[in-house]
Homo-oligomer: A and B are copies of this chain.
Amino acid sequence: MNIRFYNAKILTLTDDYEILEGELWVEGSRISYAGKTGVKHDGSFDREINAEGNLIMPGFKNAHTHSAMTFLRSYADDLPLLDWLNKQVFPMEAKLTGEDMYHLSKLAILEYLTSGITANFDMYFCPEDVTRASVEMGFRTVMCGAISQYTGETAYALDLLENSYKQFNHYHERIGYRLGFHAEYTAPRPLLEGIASLAGKYKAPVYTHVSESISEVEQCLERNGTTPPVYLDSLGIFDYGGGGFHCVHMTEEDLAVLKQKNLTVVTNPGSNAKLASGIAPVKRLLDMGINIAIGTDGPASNNCLDMFREMFLTTALQKLKEKDASALDANRVLYMATAGGAKAMGLTECDTLEAGKLADLIMIDLHQPNMQPINNITKNIVYSGSKQNVRLTMVNGRILYENNTFYVGEDAEAIYAKANEIINSKR
């Protein structure tokens, strides 16, 4: 389907944060033009959308999430991280079937669409079920390996990871897979060594939870005599890049590892605040030139999947941490939430709006009181934006959400009913 957006403001992200007035064409899954009005199109469009002066920009990339955890939203709040994990999350997760995860991931995808998110970097078991939900709904998902000591014998876990890596990188045009594991504290050394071997074999980056809580760091120090990033790096885990989710408690040595191995930090400020884990040193990372992406983390810890709230938190918490209101510019945050995430996820064709790129884009309604007056559109989005401003979400050239209605091939109410049925059957 060929679609023309006209009468639009466009943040292409190709030229700093400049916003141009013009139009954008989508042909099939790709952008064929993004620029000033007046250029002639050969052929016809199936649909021409008057953007009414609203903003078209790259979709947000939710660079760390556990989609299927929607079933635990508002179920077990207000507990410390390790209690929350061990007493609530792990026992409930153990009851989930693959079919459950398929349905629960659908609920998360609906929420992503309402927040202008066009791709998720999803760490969860059963990639076949999570990706099935994504493929059926027209969404884009990069899975991240989630193996740990609970997956089974070391050889079994490593086989699972390698097979998933091979399978899901050739599974569907909108699905990818990156090597990954749950965390240092759930991965014995032989498992980590095996993962490092896979990284070497495929010259592939590796992603994992890193230094989310103080106790995690302390326990790693006790076990290994060093911090998680340094320990993991010493085993060769990051020899082909990758990155860490959270990275809240970083030593100077940790930061040096991130820089040296060209790693990405995916920050999750909402989850880190709600679980009282702390504030990641985002400004410091930015000053060091480290790539930063933003994730919501799972809905059990956040509890919502909203990149607007995460963007505000990313900058506001840095201002608090640094005691400096100029600590982190809104435009840099917008970059992290879009192109920074795309880089982490290997979605180099989904980062900017220009001819040839995949059409993963959103329309932000500027005709809302929180976007007025138009003093500075990108600052308005980061400091004042909300889900309410998302007028349209397009993935791979297809409109999946427009004017509060989902176009995902299934009724939203049926997805809600299924999620309620699942949690009620596990209590």
In the complex, which residues of chain B have a beta carbon less than 8 angstroms from the beta carbon of A303?
379-380, 383-384
Number of copies: 2
Our pick among B77, B320, B325, B422 for the contact of A84 (Cβ within 8 Å) is: B325
Q: Is the CB of B420 within 8 A of A316?
A: no
Interface majority SS on A: helix, strand, loop or mixed? helix
In the complex, which residues of chain B have a beta carbon less than 8 angstroms from the beta carbon of A279?
320
Q: Is the CB of B79 within 8 A of A325?
A: yes
Looking at the complex, which of A8-16, A67-75, A152-160, A257-265 is the stretch in contact with chain B?
A67-75
Q: Is the CB of A420 within 8 A of B374?
A: yes
Q: Mark A287-318, 1 if CB is under 8 A from B, else 0.
A: 00000000000010011111011001101110
Alpha-carbon distance between A383 and B304 when the two chains are bound, in angstroms: 7
The interface centre, meaning the residue of A304, A372, A416 with most chain B CB atoms within 10 A of its CB, is A372
Alpha-carbon distance between A278 and B316 when the two chains are bound, in angstroms: 11
Q: Is the CB of B373 within 8 A of A325?
A: no
Q: Is the CB of A74 within 8 A of B319?
A: no
Min C-beta distance of A87 to chain B, whole Å: 13
Asked whether A42 is an interface residue with its Cβ less than 8 Å from the other chain, the reply is no
Q: Is the CB of B107 within 8 A of A372?
A: yes
Our pick among B80, B324, B370 for the contact of A114 (Cβ within 8 Å) is: B370
Q: Is the CB of A74 within 8 A of B323?
A: no
Q: Is the CB of B416 within 8 A of A319?
A: no
Alpha-carbon distance between A387 and B81 when the two chains are bound, in angstroms: 28
Q: Is the CB of B111 within 8 A of A367?
A: no
**Which A residues, 273 to 292, have Cβ-Cβ distances below 8 Å to chain B?**
273-276, 278-279
Q: Mark A110-125, 1 if CB is under 8 A from B, else 0.
A: 1100100000000000
In the complex, which residues of chain B have a beta carbon less than 8 angstroms from the beta carbon of A299?
384
Q: Is the CB of A73 within 8 A of B324?
A: no
Q: Is the CB of A320 within 8 A of B276?
A: yes
Q: Mark A328-357, 1 if CB is under 8 A from B, else 0.
A: 011000000000000000000000000000
Q: Is the CB of A77 within 8 A of B330?
A: yes
In the complex, which residues of chain B have a beta carbon less than 8 angstroms from the beta carbon of A319?
273-276
Chain A residues in the interface with B (C-beta under 8 A): 70-75, 77-81, 84, 107-108, 110-111, 114, 270, 273-276, 278-279, 299, 302-306, 308-309, 312-313, 315-317, 319-320, 322-327, 329-330, 367-370, 372-376, 379-380, 383-388, 404, 412-413, 415-416, 419-420, 422-423
Pairs across A and B, CB under 8 Å, 7 listed: A70-B369, A274-B316, A275-B319, A303-B384, A304-B384, A305-B370, A404-B404
